[in-house]
């Protein structure tokens, strides 16, 4: 049996770090949003006397990573088989477009896509795999849900779907072709005061309520927040330059996603988004115009699909 899935990337519209646990993980208060940039995963699988997992990588990002057993999709396939005590021949074809080390959750989405495809092939309940997903990575459970917007707590595994109906702004992603290792980002983090955390959690609740009520971007853009910017921007010239350029253009709904390095700008109209791309792109950046993701179970927000841009300086 063969299953193909789109594995969407994500951005964080809000990210506060609320605590550091003894095991080194950090607890968060965040608002995840899936987007229409992503990878296409095709999974073929059948039961067999012995397990054999084969991964084929294609796409512009696929040639940059290793197709070995340490790849997260291979680890997800093996974790699935171990959990259900199965042996199988599994072939994974990943057409990869989401950059790595970019704060977009591409690897986590691919891992979740693997688990979901295997659930469909072997007729298993995906709810049973949420603990397995968490062990694979803190962001993997996010992509086990069909919802576009989810509030994340704990290490990101405590998820609450947020129903948001359109219209929604367009998204301009600026990836400065720089990998930012997550471990180094958190090593520079200084936890905020309790009062600051409480204030920001209140702001997150306001942001969620505005989006639930379909308030326009102008109402909630000032609530966009990412604590980790302070751990990346002063240390990463390429990210800092993107933010400086956007501010020079007077684009104000701007934020770094996750632990970086991607920066995104939210724009009301497609025309304004394309104008922004013309101003911001250069040969050192990959610039993408995209929209918020809607699965087949969610209503469409009327926006168009992803398009890529790459200019010269």
Quick: pLDDT tens for 132-143.
Answer: 999 999 999 999
Using the predicted structure, report yes or no on whether residue 21 has a pLDDT greater than 80: yes
pLDDT attached to residue 69: 92
Mean pLDDT over residues 41-64, rounded?
Answer: 96
* pLDDT 10s digits, 269-286: 999 999 999 999 999 999
**pLDDT: which is higher, 161 or 310:** 161
Per annotation, catalytic residue among 10, 34, 96, 221: 10
pLDDT attached to residue 311: 40
**296 pLDDT tier (thresholds 50, 70, 90):** low
**Which residues lie closer than 8 Å to 124 by C-beta, 6 or more apart?**
80, 84, 118
Rounded-to-integer distance, Cα 287 and Cα 307, Å: 9
Q: Considering only CA atoms, which of 309, 306, 312 is closest in space to residue 8?
A: 306
Using the predicted structure, report yes or no on whether residue 15 has a pLDDT greater than 50: yes
Using the predicted structure, report yes or no on whether residue 305 has a pLDDT greater than 80: no
Give the distance from CA 183 to its chain's centroid: 17
CA angle 117, 120, 121 (to 5 degrees): 85
**14 pLDDT tier (thresholds 50, 70, 90):** very high
The dihedrals phi and psi of 151, each to the nearest 5 degrees, come to: -80, 130
Phi-psi region for residue 278, left (φ > 0), alpha (ψ -120 to 50) or beta? alpha
Q: Give yes or no: 274 in active site.
A: no
Q: Considering only CA atoms, which of 110, 25, 22, 15 is closest in space to residue 61?
A: 110
Q: Give yes or no: 205 in active site.
A: no
* pLDDT 10s digits, 78-93: 999 999 999 999 999 9
- Round the average pLDDT of the chain to a whole number and report it: 92
Domains 2-160 and 164-309 fall in the same CATH topology: no
| Percentage of residues in the chain having pLDDT higher than 90 | 85
Coil, strand or helix: which one is 224?
Answer: coil
Rounded-to-integer distance, Cα 205 and Cα 202, Å: 5
Contact 263, 243 (CB under 8 A): yes
Per annotation, catalytic residue among 139, 147, 151, 221: 139
* pLDDT 10s digits, 147-205: 999 999 999 889 999 999 878 999 999 999 999 998 899 999 999 999 999 999 999 99
pLDDT attached to residue 306: 54
Using the predicted structure, report yes or no on whether residue 309 has a pLDDT greater than 70: no
Rounded-to-integer distance, Cα 177 and Cα 186, Å: 21
Using the predicted structure, report yes or no on whether residue 299 has a pLDDT greater than 70: no
**312 pLDDT tier (thresholds 50, 70, 90):** very low
Q: Which CATH number fits domain 164-309: 3.30.390.50, 3.30.70.270, 3.30.70.890, 3.50.50.60?
A: 3.30.70.890
Which CATH number is associated with domain 2-160?
A: 3.30.230.10
Mean pLDDT over residues 281-293, rounded?
Answer: 94
Q: Name the residue ranges covered by the structural domains of the chain.
A: 2-160, 164-309
pLDDT attached to residue 28: 96
The sign of the CA dihedral 225, 231, 233, 239 is: negative
**301 pLDDT tier (thresholds 50, 70, 90):** very low
**110 pLDDT tier (thresholds 50, 70, 90):** very high
């Amino acid at each position: 049996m063969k299953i193909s899935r789109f594995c969407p990337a994500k951005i964080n519209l809000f990210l506060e770090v609320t605590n550091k646990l003894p095991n080194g993980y950090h607890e968060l208060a965040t608002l995840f949003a899936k987007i229409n940039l992503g990878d296409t995963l095709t999974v073929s699988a059948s039961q067999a006397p012995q397990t054999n997992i084969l991964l084929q990588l294609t796409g512009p990002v696929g040639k940059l990573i290793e197709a070995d057993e340490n790849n997260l999709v291979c680890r997800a396939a093996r974790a699935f088989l171990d959990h259900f005590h199965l042996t199988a021949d599994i072939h994974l074809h990943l057409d990869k477009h989401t950059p790595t080390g970019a704060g977009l959750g591409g690897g986590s989405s691919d891992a979740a896509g693997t688990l979901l495809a295997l659930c469909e092939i072997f007729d298993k309940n995906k709810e049973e795999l949420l603990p397995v997903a968490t062990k694979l990575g803190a962001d993997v459970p996010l992509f086990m849900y069909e919802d576009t917007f989810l509030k994340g707590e704990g290490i990101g595994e405590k998820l609450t779907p947020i129903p948001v109906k359109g219209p929604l702004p367009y998204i301009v992603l600026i990836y400065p072709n720089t990998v930012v290792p997550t471990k180094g980002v958190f090593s520079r983090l200084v936890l905020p005061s309790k009062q600051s955390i409480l204030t920001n959690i209140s702001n997150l609740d306001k942001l969620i309520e505005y989006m639930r009520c379909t308030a326009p971007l102008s109402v909630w853009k000032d609530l966009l927040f990412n604590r980790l910017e302070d751990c990346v921007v002063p240390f990463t010239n390429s990210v800092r330059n993107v933010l400086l350029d956007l501010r020079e253009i007077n684009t104000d709904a701007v934020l770094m996603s996750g632990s970086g390095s991607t920066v995104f700008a939210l724009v009301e109209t497609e025309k304004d988004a394309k104008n922004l791309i013309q101003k911001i792109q250069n040969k050192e950046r990959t610039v993408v115009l995209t929209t918020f993701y809607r699965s087949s179970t969610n209503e469409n927000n009327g926006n168009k699909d992803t398009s890529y841009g790459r200019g010269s300086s």
